Amino acid sequence: MNIRAIAAFGVVIMSAFGVYAHAADVKVLGSNAARPILEALVPQFEKATGNKVTLVYGTSAGLKEDIEKGAAFDLAVLTTAGIADLAKQGKVAAGTPSNLARSGAGVAIKKGAAKPDIGTTDAFKRTLLNAKSVGIVDATPTGNYFKTLFPRLGIADEMKAKLKFVDSKVGAGGAAASGEVEIGLTQISEILASGAELLGPLPEEIQVYTDFASGVGANAKEAATAGALIKFMSTPESARVIKEKGMVPR
């Protein structure tokens, strides 16, 4: 989105949501997988509207738990299932959940490392078996998926010795980028933002997709501006950014 388009859209959304009165400070709780999108779009929103956005990242499961315990927020960007459950609990305002993007899982390696074949399920399986270490983030939708995938592939026992649960703040992509693990398995969007090299997506027959959505907090102090940010992230211009970050706009 160019500067002129940003400014013009800023006028539209500020008028639509009545956020001219003051410069708001919006608190956003965002999933690590959505971080590349938020870090690209939020500065544009701030420039267009004059508002400030404070971003707090974590796993979707961890942030959801924080919200359930009473964490204050204006906007949450989590898995679609997580946002839906929070809406049922009355933690996210009714009518505000909005689909944002879908992400597939991929394989991360350190830049410059050898590139093993992952083009088929058998090739992916061999690559895991030949790797010295494989990293995932535990208690995440993607991490949990891989823990169920290994038994399906018949390699659960072999993976026990080489599987490493990496810190969610580092991520599987970050662990691969630093050489902490030889292979990182996580969302493609996270890999592209981690400094690691994307070896490729999972073979389609074992691919897993995670949907992400946003929702305004039921007790948000800046509900109108949070709603304006949702609208901003759903424009065609924002959709192009989402694609660039390895996700599919919803």
pLDDT digits over 184-221, tens only?
A: 999 999 999 899 999 999 999 999 999 999 999 999 99
Predicted TM-score (pTM) of the model is 0.84
Q: Indicate whether 230 and 110 sit together in one domain.
A: no
- The Cβ of residue 24 has, within 10 Å, a number of other Cβ atoms equal to 21
Report the C-alpha gap between 181 and 102 in whole angstroms: 26
Q: Indicate whether 53 and 82 sit together in one domain.
A: yes
Domain count across the chain: 2
Report the C-alpha gap between 86 and 180 in whole angstroms: 35
More confident residue, 14 or 218: 218
**pLDDT tens, residue by residue, 71-112:** 999 999 999 999 999 999 999 999 999 999 999 999 999 999
Q: Indicate whether 69 and 191 sit together in one domain.
A: no
Question: What CATH number does the domain containing 78 carry?
Answer: 3.40.190.10
Domain that holds residue 183: 104-209
Please report which confidence band the pLDDT of residue 13 belongs to, taking 50, 70 and 90 as the band edges: low
Q: Indicate whether 76 and 152 sit together in one domain.
A: no
Q: If you average pLDDT over every residue of the chain, what do you get?
A: 92
The pLDDT value recorded for residue 17 is 46
The angle that helices 35-49 and 223-233 make with each other, rounded to 10 degrees, is 120
Report the C-alpha gap between 80 and 77 in whole angstroms: 9
Judged against a pLDDT cut of 70, whether residue 12 lies above it is answered with: no
Q: Indicate whether 215 and 204 sit together in one domain.
A: no
The pLDDT value recorded for residue 139 is 83
Q: Indicate whether 205 and 220 sit together in one domain.
A: no
Instruction: Return the CA Rg of the chain.
Output: 19
Q: Which of 57, 96, 99 is nearest to 233 (CA)?
A: 99
